[in-house]
């Protein structure tokens, strides 16, 4: 077969004119033969089994039903005629409907003969109706039963309205296999195929589209899923290897005065075992010759900040500057103050740079950064600006990484001639295996232990109708000297509405908590940073007892005296967000509470989310549930990892295959790092082709 055969534009395929080609492109991203070949069926219809009419459900899926037409009638409508056939089996009756082609259908359909109909059944009142079904007499159907399993391809409304039905796609696929003679280049080495007993690529492709039987279909699916995951892993792992080999890092060999003095005299508590382990991992990494690119995962409150500080002191011991970036101004402020307090009287020059830093101070910061007299810079995105130049940036810490993209990471890389070490901290735990596949190019450290003495937060779910009781509880807690958060959802599509919800809520809270007795802070996205900080500061200092806010407080805010978190319309939040919010309390010595307020109308998913929150405080546990509910698509970082574009594998359901794929990718690169061996040439070829198309590669060069 000609090597470029699969790059042929789809319009060249017999039966696909320019019109269909356009539709295929806009609806399914199919532009070439290869794209069509990689349009994998969503599922398979067992052509030997039929739905009973009384089993039909409004799921929108295509179904196959065996029955008879009892009579046909024409129904007059305002918008024209439709032809309706009553179709029965032994369990009930349904309707078949046509909006065009009436004459032909009337003349050809046979009454009281067994038919197999195929299509999408929708319920109208108590009756199911199937528009424009594909129909075959049972006798024909049995004759045509060459394959027992009919692939059902992804479809859209526009496709079917333009006549590109499942049957038409099946025909196109047949044509493609005819022209190619079903012969496709192999892309996995014999060694791997033998070890895993994989069927060949051609066999897999044929059986994914025209399965001969269940067993071959399963083999085809396994082979193609493995291959897809294998190449993603190969990319991630080789990228990591190249980084480690080629990108020289700054070796931080010395553990010096700054680190030791802090450890001996300033550290306010004993580090947890997990913190110690993680610091060691980072120290080893930064002490080697390679540039560090490490993800630090740890639940809210697990104490990531002090780990970051100690790493920055290590940089300082080796004569380098560091920076710590946070996604919001509030958080940057809090980090700045927190670090200053931890450092106490130590001779470390630290500064804060955000969007609202005054120009005069900014100028001083720029100068000190360039001369090297400024040791640690804390800030927001402002740190990334080109004007901000360091004398020798050695370590960049990024807090709450999901707010930062790849582009920003790469900007940091270029802040120094030799790229600085990078430590990304995140409080959104993701299951470990998944983390490895999403961030296969990063090293991962995990703080899996909370500092001692924390009382687990008590979480309850209450309905809006119990609001008064909740208010009474809040008042009791405030009497004991505690502070309370009340959080409202913020969903960007309806910002105005969210704002109104918040303001209505604020007013009602103000009524129940009158200013004669209570002080209330309010923080939301529409406020100027200065006002936000002012309100926040009042709450931090304990001048206000209540903080009414949108999710701007989600990230990182630390007020140990706040012990109650009320989440309004909790059903509208995702699990990880709920968990993040809850993490704002439980930071002091007192028992903390989280109350999830909802209406009575709850979806099944919402119920699961609420139950999970009530059941557990463990972020990794919550992450597993979240992953199952939402799938990997919505998880942080997946957009950047290429795993979203998987055509056949599913990183959650196919996690076992993923592990196998990862293992084999690692073995391959161990034995043949540059893919030079003869036996691996086909892998190299496929890999090179992929790299040309992939953007993952970009940010490492």
Residues that bind Mg ion (CB under 5 A): 556
**How near is the Cβ of 397 to Mg ion at its closest, in Å?**
11
CA dist., res. 285 & res. 169, Å (int): 53
Burial class of residue 270 in the structure, from the number of CB atoms within 10 Å of its CB (0-12 exposed, 13-18 middle, 19+ buried): exposed
Residue (164 or 309) nearer to ligand ADP, CB: 309
Residue (302 or 612) nearer to ligand ADP, CB: 302
Q: Which does 444 bind (CB under 5 to 8 A by kind): Mg ion, ligand ADP, none?
A: none
* Binding segment (CB under 6 A) for ligand ADP, from list 135-143, 296-304, 510-518, 530-538: 296-304
CA dist., res. 333 & res. 510, Å (int): 28
Residue (440 or 556) nearer to Mg ion, CB: 556
Q: Which tokens go with 646?
A: 């998987």
Number of H helices and E strands in the chain, helices first, is: 25, 22
Q: How many CA atoms lie within 13 A of 189 on its CB side?
A: 21
Q: Which does 354 bind (CB under 5 to 8 A by kind): ligand ADP, Mg ion, none?
A: none
Closest residue to Mg ion, based on beta-carbon distance = 556
Strand bridging mode 546-549 / 520-523: parallel
Contact 312, 536 (CB under 8 A): no
Contact 534, 330 (CB under 8 A): no
Q: Which does 242 bind (CB under 5 to 8 A by kind): Mg ion, ligand ADP, none?
A: none
Number of residues forming the site for ligand ADP (CB under 6 A) = 16
One character per residue 608-647, x = contact with ligand ADP (rule: CB under 6 A): ----------------------------------------
Q: Which of 354, 338, 405, 254 is nearest to 556 (CA)?
A: 338
Residues in region 387-446 near ligand ADP by CB under 6 A: 427
Q: Is 271 in the site for ligand ADP (CB under 6 A)?
A: yes
CA dist., res. 69 & res. 95, Å (int): 9
CA dist., res. 156 & res. 569, Å (int): 34
One character per residue 531-560, x = contact with ligand ADP (rule: CB under 6 A): ---------------------------x--
**How near is the Cβ of 517 to ligand ADP at its closest, in Å?**
29
Residue (201 or 304) nearer to ligand ADP, CB: 304
Q: Is 293 in the site for ligand ADP (CB under 6 A)?
A: no
CA dist., res. 203 & res. 208, Å (int): 9
* Binding segment (CB under 6 A) for ligand ADP, from list 65-73, 117-125, 293-301, 689-697: 293-301
What are the Cα distances from residue 31, in Å, to 1, 171, 327, 346, 650? Answer: 20, 17, 40, 63, 24
Q: Which of 488, 475, 551, 487 is nearest to 517 (CA)?
A: 475
Q: Is 166 in the site for ligand ADP (CB under 6 A)?
A: no
Please say whether the dihedral angle defined by the alpha carbons of residues 6, 10, 12 and 15, taken in this order, is positive or negative. Answer: positive
Residues in region 441-460 near ligand ADP by CB under 6 A: 451
The residues with which 399 forms a beta bridge, in sequence order, are: 425
Q: What is the CA radius of gyration of the chain?
A: 31
Q: Which does 451 bind (CB under 5 to 8 A by kind): ligand ADP, Mg ion, none?
A: ligand ADP
Residue (299 or 535) nearer to ligand ADP, CB: 299
Q: Which of 310, 579, 265, 567 is nearest to 423 (CA)?
A: 310
Residues in region 495-534 near ligand ADP by CB under 6 A: none
Residue (223 or 304) nearer to ligand ADP, CB: 304
SS3 (DSSP) at 679: helix
**How near is the Cβ of 556 to Mg ion at its closest, in Å?**
4
Beta strands in 253-386 (DSSP E): 293-298, 321-325, 350-353, 376-379
Q: Which of 448, 439, 447 is nearest to 662 (CA)?
A: 439
Residue (269 or 534) nearer to ligand ADP, CB: 269
Residue (32 or 275) nearer to ligand ADP, CB: 275
Q: Cβ of 458: how many Cβ atoms within 10 Å?
A: 13
SS3 (DSSP) at 489: coil
Closest residue to ligand ADP, based on beta-carbon distance = 303
C-alpha dihedral (223, 229, 233, 236), degrees to nearest 10: 150
Residue (233 or 334) nearer to ligand ADP, CB: 334
Residue (64 or 558) nearer to ligand ADP, CB: 558
Q: Is 562 in the site for ligand ADP (CB under 6 A)?
A: no
* Binding segment (CB under 6 A) for ligand ADP, from list 196-204, 298-306, 525-533, 669-677: 298-306
**How near is the Cβ of 270 to ligand ADP at its closest, in Å?**
6
Residue (151 or 556) nearer to Mg ion, CB: 556
User: Which helix (H) or strand (E) element contains residue 91?
Assistant: none
Percent helix / strand / coil, the chain, rounded to 5: 45, 20, 35
**How near is the Cβ of 310 to ligand ADP at its closest, in Å?**
11
Residue ranges in 414-465 assigned as alpha helix (H): 432-438
Q: Which does 271 bind (CB under 5 to 8 A by kind): ligand ADP, Mg ion, none?
A: ligand ADP
Q: Is 298 in the site for ligand ADP (CB under 6 A)?
A: yes
Q: Which does 47 bind (CB under 5 to 8 A by kind): Mg ion, ligand ADP, none?
A: none
Contact 310, 279 (CB under 8 A): yes
Q: Is 302 in the site for ligand ADP (CB under 6 A)?
A: yes
Q: Is 269 in the site for ligand ADP (CB under 6 A)?
A: yes
| DSSP state for residue 264 in the 8-state scheme | I
Strand bridging mode 546-549 / 127-131: unpaired
Residue (290 or 308) nearer to Mg ion, CB: 308
Q: Which does 297 bind (CB under 5 to 8 A by kind): ligand ADP, Mg ion, none?
A: none
**How near is the Cβ of 367 to Mg ion at its closest, in Å?**
30
Instruction: Indicate which single residue of 64, 235, 305, 328 sits in contact with ligand ADP (rule: CB under 6 A).
Output: 305
Alpha carbon of residue 430 to chain centroid: 10
**How near is the Cβ of 307 to ligand ADP at its closest, in Å?**
8
* Binding segment (CB under 6 A) for ligand ADP, from list 264-272, 278-286, 482-490, 610-618: 264-272
CA dist., res. 504 & res. 599, Å (int): 16
In the complex, which residues of this chain contact ligand ADP (CB under 6 A)? Answer: 269, 271-272, 275, 298, 300-306, 427, 451, 558, 587
């Amino acid at each position: 077969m000609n090597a470029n055969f699969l790059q042929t534009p789809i319009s060249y395929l017999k039966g696909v004119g320019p019109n269909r080609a356009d539709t295929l492109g806009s609806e399914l991203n199919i532009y070439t033969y290869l794209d069509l070949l990689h349009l994998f069926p969503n599922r398979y219809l067992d052509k030997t089994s039929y739905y009973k009419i009384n089993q039909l459900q409004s799921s929108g899926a295509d179904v196959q039903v065996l029955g008879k037409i009892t009579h046909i009638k024409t129904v007059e409508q305002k918008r024209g005629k439709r032809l309706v056939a009553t179709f029965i089996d032994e369990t009930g009756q349904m309707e078949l409907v046509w909006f065009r082609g009436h004459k032909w259908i009337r003349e050809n359909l046979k009454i009281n003969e067994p038919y197999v109909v195929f299509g999408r059944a929708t319920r109208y009142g108590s009756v199911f109706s199937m528009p424009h079904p594909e129909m075959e007499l049972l006798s024909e159907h049995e004759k045509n039963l060459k394959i027992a399993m009919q692939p059902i391809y992804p479809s859209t409304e526009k496709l079917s309205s333009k006549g590109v039905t499942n049957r038409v796609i099946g025909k196109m696929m047949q044509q493609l296999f005819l022209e190619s003679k079903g012969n496709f280049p192999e892309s996995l080495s014999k060694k791997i195929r033998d070890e895993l007993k994989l069927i060949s690529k051609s066999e897999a492709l044929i059986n994914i589209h025209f399965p001969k039987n269940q067993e071959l279909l399963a083999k085809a699916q396994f082979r193609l899923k493995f291959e897809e995951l294998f190449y993603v892993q190969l990319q991630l792992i080789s990228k990591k290897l190249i980084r480690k080999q080629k990108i020289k890092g700054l070796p931080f060999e010395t553990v010096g005065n700054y680190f030791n003095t802090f450890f001996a005299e300033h550290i306010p508590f004993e580090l947890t075992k997990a913190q110690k382990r993680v610091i060691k991992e980072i120290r080893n990494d930064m002490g080697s010759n390679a540039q560090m690119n490490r993800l630090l995962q740890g639940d809210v409150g697990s104490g990531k900040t002090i780990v970051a500080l100690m790493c920055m002191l290590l940089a300082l011991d080796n004569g380098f500057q560091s920076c710590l970036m946070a996604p919001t101004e509030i958080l940057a402020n809090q980090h700045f103050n927190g670090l200053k307090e931890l450092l106490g009287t130590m001779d470390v020059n630290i500064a804060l740079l955000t969007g609202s830093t005054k120009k005069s101070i900014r100028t001083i910061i720029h100068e000190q950064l360039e001369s090297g007299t400024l040791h640690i810079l804390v800030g927001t995105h402002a740190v990334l600006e080109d004007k901000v130049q360091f004398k020798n940036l050695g370590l960049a810490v990024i807090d709450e990484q999901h707010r930062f993209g790849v582009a920003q990471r790469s900007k940091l890389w270029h802040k120094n001639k030799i790229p600085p070490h990078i430590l990304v901290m995140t409080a959104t735990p993701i299951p470990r295996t998944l983390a490895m596949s999403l961030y296969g190019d990063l090293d991962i450290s995990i703080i899996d232990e909370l500092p001692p003495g924390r009382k687990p937060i008590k979480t309850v779910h209450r309905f809006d109708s119990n609001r008064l009781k909740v208010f009474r509880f809040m008042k009791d807690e405030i009497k004991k000297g505690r502070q309370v958060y009340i959080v409202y959802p913020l969903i960007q599509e309806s910002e105005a509405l969210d704002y109104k919800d918040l303001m209505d809520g604020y007013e009602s809270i103000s009524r129940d908590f009158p200013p004669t007795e209570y002080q209330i802070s309010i923080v939301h996205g529409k406020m100027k940073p200065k006002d936000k900080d002012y309100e926040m500061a009042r709450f931090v200092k304990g001048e206000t007892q209540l903080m009414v806010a949108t999710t701007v407080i989600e990230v990182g805010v630390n007020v140990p005296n706040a012990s109650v978190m009320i989440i309004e319309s909790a059903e509208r939040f995702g699990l990880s967000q709920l968990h993040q919010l809850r993490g704002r309390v439980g930071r002091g010595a007192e028992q903390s509470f989280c109350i999830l307020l909802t209406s009575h109308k709850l979806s099944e998913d919402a119920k699961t989310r609420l139950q999970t929150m009530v059941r557990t405080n463990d972020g990794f546990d919550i992450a597993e549930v979240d992953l199952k509910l939402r799938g990997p698509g919505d998880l942080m970082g997946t957009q950047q990892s290429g795993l979203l574009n998987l055509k056949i594998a599913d990183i959650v359901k196919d996690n076992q295959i993923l592990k196998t794929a990862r293992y084999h990718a690692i073995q391959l690169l161990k034995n043949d790092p540059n893919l030079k061996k003869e036996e691996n040439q086909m892998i190299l070829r496929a890999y090179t082709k992929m790299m040309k198309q992939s953007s993952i590669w970009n940010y490492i060069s």
